Amino acid sequence: MTTPEGRARGDIATRWVELAVALLFTLIGAIVIADSVRVGYTWAEDGPKAGYFPFYIGWILVAAGAYVALETIWRWKKLDGVTFVTRDRLKPVFLMLLPTIAFVILVGWLGIYVAAFIYIGGFMLWQGRYGWLPTLLVSAGLPIVLFLVFELWFLVPLPKGPVESLLGY
């Protein structure tokens, strides 16, 4: 994960990710404080207001985020050369993440069964380099099993789309 040697072009430095995440924490803390002030963080007639507890949570969050951010900047020179992820290892991460994002968007649109068929099938063809037959068996088989288990056996409804309604579900 961390190499003392210099980074190659396109590798992501840990210090930037560290800083970004720390600032994200600080930002979330600030939002929490702002909202607590909005709903009131003081004492009302009948007890503490809604923002009483989150107000302090927000401040601790800001403090912790700022601490990590400042520490990162303080050690900025020293952290040079520490790699968060190399370019060639980042690629498979995105090859997983991007289809997954596409998949959840498809779930909202086509329902989970069709989306799973496309997602698993696409993944196997494209990244696994499987033939059509094994791909079809797994990518169609799993949604059918899931349908039997969830819709029919356990009676748990899952998101469905136009294809299912065409079939009468």
Distance CA 115, CA 107 (A): 5
Distance CA 121, CA 141 (A): 11
Q: Spell out, one character per residue from 80 to 119, where the chain touches another protein: x when CB under 8 A holds, - when not.
A: ----xx---xx-xx-xxx-xxx-xx--xx---x---x--x
Distance CA 9, CA 91 (A): 14
- Residue selected from 13, 23, 64, 136 as contacting another protein according to rule CB under 8 A: 64
Question: By CB under 8 A, is residue 52 in contact with another protein?
Answer: yes
Q: Are 104 and 159 in contact (CB under 8 A)?
A: no
Question: By CB under 8 A, is residue 57 in contact with another protein?
Answer: yes
Tell me the two tokens of residue 37.
């002030």
Exposed / middle / buried, residue 143 (Cβ in 10 Å: 0-12, 13-18, 19+): buried
Question: By CB under 8 A, is residue 150 in contact with another protein?
Answer: yes
> Residues in the site for another protein, rule: CB under 8 A?
1, 14, 17-18, 21-22, 25, 28-29, 31-32, 35-36, 39, 43, 47-54, 57-58, 60-61, 64-65, 67-68, 71, 84-85, 89-90, 92-93, 95-97, 99-101, 103-104, 107-108, 112, 116, 119-120, 123-124, 127-128, 130, 138, 142, 146, 150, 154-159
